[in-house]
Structure formats: structure tokens, C-alpha cells
Structure 1
Amino acid sequence: MMPRALIIVALVALTACGSRQDTADRDTNLRQLRNSSGSPEEFSIVPNKPLQAPETLAELPPPTPGGTNRTDQTPLQDAVAVLGGNPSRLDPQAGIGAGDQALVTRASRFGRESDIRAELAVADQAFRERRRLFNWRIVPEDTYNRAYRDQALDPYASLEAARRAGALTPSAPPE
């Protein structure tokens, strides 16, 4: 009986070590949607846009070192255009559109930092670096949920607090 249990424990330990990824690689991509089988990913193959020849050489745009080409893929802009939006609004140099100006003014009435996204990205990376120390598991688990488990809100506790405060709340499914 004892040798059989020892063999089972050894097999479980070996299989747990077999599919382990590097923790640094795992933490940089919190939601792991990549293909780990080694085979080609059919959704990552995107054909180039067709080449366009201008009528005259004067119509050629000036070269932009480090810039974009006419044949470069622009999936976000293409999706916005297909859905009926204005792809030029995704350009960061375009600034804030007239339709969003009132919202930005209201949200920043007490001041705002221009580099808040970069600052939050650095703080988030530091938080995940601190959590990486104990980031190993025998059974794979979603890294994102594990890293932010302590910061998650309980929706039912929030609903009850709002109801106790007298706020009108919609019905919610049972727990």
C-alpha cells in the first residue's frame, strides 16, 4: 500500500512541474490569451493592406522615419470605421473631441495629472512585483484574479449598504 501511494505522489509532483511557466512572463500578461501549444495562431495572421500607387509622383507622402506606412495594419481604426465611427478620433494628437470636452472639464474640475496612466502603470507593476514572491501554484489559476483578489468589491455587500442608506436599487439575482 505504501509504495503505491508514494508512486501516486511522485506522479502528481512531476505533472505539476511539467507545465509551469516563468513567473515574470506570467505576470506581464495577466489575462493569458496566448496560444501556448507551439502551433501557429490563426487569429494573429493578418494580411497587409494592398499597395496603392499614386497617379503622379507628386502625390507621394514624404517619408516619416519611425512613422507608419500606408500599408500598416490599423485594426482599431478599421473596427471604428466599420462600426460607423470616426477613426481619426483615436489619434492621440487630435486631442479631446468637442463632444467629450464637457465631460473632461467636469471630471477634472478639482485638477488632474497629465501622466496619470503612466503613473498607474508603474504603480501596478510594482504591486505585481511585490505579489510575485508567493506567486506559484500547483494548480493553474487566473493570475489577474489572484493578484487583485484583495481589492475586489463584494457586489452584494455594496447593494445592501446602498439599500440601508435608502438608495433606490434594482433587483439583483440571489447569491
Structure 2
Amino acid sequence: MPRALIILSLVVLTACGARQDTTDRDTNLRQLRNPTGTPEEFSIVPPKPLEAPESLAELPTPTPGGTNRTDQTPLKDAVAVLGGAPSRLEAGAGIGAGDQALVARVSRFGRGPNIRAELAEADQKFREGRSLFNWRLVPQDTYNRIYRNQTLDPYATLEAARRAGALTPSAPPR
């Protein structure tokens, strides 16, 4: 009996210590934490090398709070490496000519000007409704646990499409 009591108390104490902080629900959906407490090697990004312009007239005017020429721009760098135009990623670039037809087709029944804010608010309410059950004895991926009931089974969807007579591609076995 004393052994069972000791084991039970250790399990309870371990469960209390392993509870995860869920105060910032937007950033904790995918919990990629470094449990060792050591620096994360992928979070340390060196700046780009300094470059001296040909003349001082080529120096850009300083923008307080703006970006620096030596700041890393991983998305723009990836687009440039893949042969795209990094300037299209800037905020004021608008919709590119190649995407105009797609945007026109998708918004043919109208679109809300702040749909992103509305969806973010609805998603936050949904997650807050589920927050009562957000603790576990064993750490688990919060995102998959919260949205598990909203995911589609690809094989059931494939079978339903095939039963309806739709032409479907082959799929790997389960």
C-alpha cells in the first residue's frame, strides 16, 4: 500500500509540473519548444554583411523604426532564389497580374473587407471555448488536438467521390 501511495503522489506531482502555459493561445498552437534550456541554434540569424556604396549620394534616407539594409529577409531571398520577383512580397505591391483572374473568380459573390480579422476573432472564440480542456498529463500537439474534429479523412472523401462517379487519381494505400 505505501508503494502505491508513493507512486500515485509522484504521478500527481509530475502532472502538476508539466502543465503548459496557455496564456498566449495564438503562438502556442504549435508548441515547438526547446526543453533543454540551451540556446536554439535556428533562432540565431546573423545579419547580412555591410556594403559600402560607390558614393554617399546612394545612401538611403534613415527611416526610424523601419527596416535596415542588413536585416534578413528570408522570404524575399527564397523568392529570388526560385526565380521570382521579391518586390511582389512588399505590402503595397498589390495583386500581381498573374493572380488577377484568380482573385476575380474567388470574389465573384463579394468579399468582406476585413475577413481576416473576422475569422481570427471567430477562431479565438472557438479556441477559448475549448480552453477548459487544454491540459494533459502527457504533452501533446495543441493544434491537432483542438482541430481534430474539423479535419477531413482523405480516404473517406476519396471513396465518397468514387461512389459518386467522379474521376479520381490514385492514392497511396492506408
Instruction: Calculate the TM-score normalised by the size of structure 2.
Output: 0.90
Shift of 1:68: 1.0
The SS at the match of 2:31 is coil
Task: Name the structure 1 match of 2:144.
Answer: 145
Shift of 1:172: 3.2
CA distance in 2, matches of 1:126, 1:96: 31
User: Which whole-Å deviations, capped at 9, do the CAs of 1:115-149 have from their partners, x for residues lacking one?
Assistant: 22222122212211111112111111110011111
Structure 2 spans left out of the alignment, 5+ residues? none
Higher relative contact order (CA 8 A, sep 6+): 2
Give runs of ≥4 in structure 1 deviating > 4 Å: none
The answer to whether the Cα contact below 8 Å between 1:48 and 1:72 also exists between their aligned partners in 2 is yes
> Quick one: structure 1 residues 109 and 26, their matched pair in 2 at CA, closer, same or farther if it must change by over 3 Å?
closer
Instruction: Kindly report which structure 2 residues correspond to 1:1-175, keeping only aligned pairs within 5 A, or say none.
Output: 2-25=1-24, 28-175=27-174
Root-mean-square deviation (CA, aligned residues, Å) is: 1.8
CA distance in 2, matches of 1:73, 1:174: 42
CA distance in 2, matches of 1:76, 1:173: 32
Query: Which structure has the highest helix share of the two?
Result: 1
The alignment-based identity, stated in percent, is 81
Shift of 1:57: 2.3
User: Which whole-Å deviations, capped at 9, do the CAs of 1:45-93 have from their partners, x for residues lacking one?
Assistant: 1111112222322211122222111111111111111222211111121
CA distance in 2, matches of 1:174, 1:79: 34
CA distance in 2, matches of 1:37, 1:85: 39
Aligned length: 174
The SS at the match of 2:137 is coil
